[in-house]
Amino acid sequence: MAALVLFGGGGDLAMRMLLPSLYFLEYDGLLPEGLKIIGAARSDESRDDYVARVRAAVEGKARADDAWTDEAWARLDARLDYLPVDATDPASLKPLKDRVGDGGVTSFLAVSPSLYGRIVTALKAAGLAEATDRVVLEKPVGRDLQSFLQIDDAVAHAFSEDQVFRIDHYLGKETVQNLIALRFGNTIFEPLWNSLSIDHVQITVGETVGVGDRWPYYDEYGALRDMLQNHMLQLLCLVAMEPPSDLDPDSVRNEKVKVIRSLRPITEHEAERVTVRGQYVAGTSEGKPAKAYSEERGQASDTETFVAVRVDIDNWRWAGTPFFLRTGKRLAEKRTEIVIQFKPVPHSIFDHGERGHIAANRLVIELQPEEDIALSVMNKKPGLDQRMQLQPIQMSLSWGQGDKGAKPPRRRIAYERLLLDALAGDSTLFVRRDEAEQAWKWVDEVSDAWRGAAFKPKQYAAGTWGPQEADLLLERGGRAWNTGHG
Ligand SMILES: NC(=O)C1=CN([C@@H]2O[C@H](COP(=O)(O)OP(=O)(O)OC[C@H]3O[C@@H](n4cnc5c(N)ncnc54)[C@H](OP(=O)(O)O)[C@@H]3O)[C@@H](O)[C@H]2O)C=CC1
Ligand SMILES: O=C1O[C@H](COP(=O)(O)O)[C@@H](O)[C@H](O)[C@H]1O
């Protein structure tokens, strides 16, 4: 690959995530030799000004991680360039094509998704969609199935599927990949990984931030389309999928798509029982007063900033084991976790009141703020009590704690893994067209059900875990959201 072109290379995503990731890859000596990195946007900015902005964006992050060296920066600086282009206009792309030559270009579209269709068409016309070229698309691709198909048809007209890399940055997170290792690198979990042993699964992505300046985008999408359609369904797929026969991109994605196709549709009639929509009102977030969403937006809105759903997967492995998903802005904590709640023992031999209580085993896969996998098991309390007393203990399977005293590995930005894979042409951790299509189909059904049932968001105070209906969603089945850490 001769060049990586960041369309929208001066924007928020590029400056906060992509360019720092590229610096860290450079620091670790992982970028392909000779790769040029070109920022491309409409602003008439000089190379020097652009590079100075990149340095300002990268240096603080790298120093905070104790990973800044002048040598690594000099190597990245030597690769960097900037070209003012309107990516929707083939004529404007001509100088870029001349600059990168024929050695293969990866075009990363860090621009508004509304431009994707026109940009890929222009890339093809400008000779930047040849067999050796690739395109990386940020989420969200589309706002519903119809708009997704419209954009993706244009993409398919310019690039073949193996040249297309649809990013879901959650798939680049270390613990998400560790989930694959846990499930398929060990024998002990697989026999238990089904509805015979697992009572239910919870997936929580809690954020403390509000929508803030992003509301023009967010108000059109809401939590269902911004988070559930992509990140949360991807996590669900990795928990629920059958073992793929190998780690080939298509083997893994074939299994994921089967899961999405097995999601039980949510009907208008069911919407109230199995889904919760919420929107934050004023409250206290991380010790500070927080405005209501409608105040941030400047007027009332029916967009949900919180969603919780009971998802049933209609297949042999998961029949009878619900998956509960919840995500929202301005929640009580920034916490992302997957909880595998095992069934209780069928009969307790320690049944002497509270002291003999047996908590069912629980596997907690924490992605944020810490990265850890912890299994809770019951254990005997040490001592000579006549009646044996039990206590739950947490067994941490954390990857960082292997060598005692050794510095844990630097926590990588998810985009590091994904950029490296896109440059190498490995699409295992990217979303295939049919996966995105099926996910939009299911999400459209949820959205239609909400519309049909005139289902408005319930209010919740900023700094809480969402509307109380989200608790009821589990309480109805005698369950509760995980509140412990681990
Ligand atoms: N920011 C984030 O945290 C996240 C962003 N995303 C996605 O990433 C993408 C980019 O988001 P974000 O960085 O926030 O957006 P920004 O608005 O900050 O940046 C967009 C960039 O696109 C450039 N641009 C606009 N039109 C054109 C054009 N015709 N040709 C070339 N460049 C153009 C703009 O520069 P100029 O005006 O100079 O052309 C600007 O640099 C979106 O798809 C978003 O949904 C996804 C997840 C998180
Ligand atoms: O894609 C998105 O993800 C972020 C949350 O990402 P995380 O890695 O910090 O968990 C979310 O804030 C944003 O709304 C959404 O577009």
What's the CATH number where 107 sits?
3.40.50.720
**Any idea what DSSP says for residue 425?**
T
- Same-domain check for residues 132 and 185: no
- Same-domain check for residues 46 and 101: yes
- Same-domain check for residues 40 and 176: no
**Domain membership flag for residue 184:** yes
Angle, helices 19-27/70-79, rounded to nearest 10 degrees: 120
- Alpha-carbon distance 402 to 210, whole Å? 37
Q: Report pLDDT digits (tens) over 391-417.
A: 999 998 875 555 556 677 788 999 999
- Alpha-carbon distance 446 to 361, whole Å? 32
5, 7, 12: residue to mutate for ligand 1 pocket, most atoms within 8 A of CB: 12
pLDDT of residue 403: 59
Rounded to 5°, the CA angle 237-155-211 comes to 60
- Same-domain check for residues 462 and 340: yes
**Domain membership flag for residue 145:** no
* Ligand 1 atom with least separation from CA of 167: 46
* Ligand 2 atom with least separation from CA of 211: 14
Count of residues in the chain: 486
Q: For residue 336, give both structure tokens.
A: 């992302």
Ligand 1 contact, 5 CB (< 6 A): no
**Residue at a domain's end among 87, 113, 138:** 138
Nearest ligand to the CA of 414 is 2
Nearest to 147 by CA among 123, 181, 178, 113: 113
Ligand 1 contact, 112 CB (< 6 A): yes
**Any idea what DSSP says for residue 401?**
G
pTM beyond 0.90: the answer is yes
**Domain membership flag for residue 143:** no
Ligand 1 contact, 43 CB (< 6 A): yes
How many angstroms is it from 257 CA to the middle of ligand 1?
29
**Domain membership flag for residue 149:** no
- Same-domain check for residues 235 and 352: yes
pLDDT of residue 409: 77
pLDDT of residue 485: 56
Q: Give the number of other Cβ atoms within 10 Å of residue 342's Cβ.
A: 17
pLDDT of residue 101: 82
**Domain membership flag for residue 466:** yes
- Same-domain check for residues 97 and 212: no
Side-chain-side CA neighbours of 133 within 13 Å: the count stands at: 20
* Identity of the residue numbered 63: R
**Residue at a domain's end among 113, 138, 163:** 138
Q: What is the CATH number of the domain that holds 268?
A: 3.30.360.10
- Same-domain check for residues 131 and 280: no
- Same-domain check for residues 216 and 102: no
- Helix, strand, coil share (%) of the chain residues, nearest 5: 40, 20, 40
- Same-domain check for residues 431 and 370: yes
Tracing tokens 């997936």 back to the chain, one arrives at 203
**Domain membership flag for residue 147:** no
Tell the burial category of 242 from Cβ atoms under 10 Å away from its Cβ (0-12, 13-18, 19+): middle
- Alpha-carbon distance 46 to 29, whole Å? 27
Tracing tokens 């959201």 back to the chain, one arrives at 481
**Domain membership flag for residue 163:** no
Side-chain-side CA neighbours of 51 within 13 Å: the count stands at: 15
**Any idea what DSSP says for residue 99?**
H
Low-confidence residues of the chain, pLDDT below 70? Answer: 351-356, 399-406, 485-486
- Same-domain check for residues 220 and 311: yes
Q: For residue 205, give both structure tokens.
A: 């992505």
Ligand 2 contact, 337 CB (< 6 A): no
Nearest ligand to the CA of 12 is 1
- Alpha-carbon distance 441 to 221, whole Å? 15
**Domain membership flag for residue 144:** no
The domain of 298 spans 171-475
How many angstroms is it from 3 CA to the middle of ligand 2?
27
Side-chain-side CA neighbours of 36 within 13 Å: the count stands at: 18
- Same-domain check for residues 89 and 221: no
Q: For residue 193, give both structure tokens.
A: 């990984």
**Residue at a domain's end among 95, 113, 138:** 138
Q: For residue 386, give both structure tokens.
A: 């006549």
Nearest to 338 by CA among 200, 473, 193: 200
- Same-domain check for residues 227 and 93: no
Query: Which residues are catalytically annotated?
Result: 231
- Count structural domains, the chain: 2
Residues 6+ apart with CB under 8 A from 242: 255, 258, 317
CA distances from 32 to 129, 428, 465 (A): 20, 19, 44
- Alpha-carbon distance 182 to 180, whole Å? 5
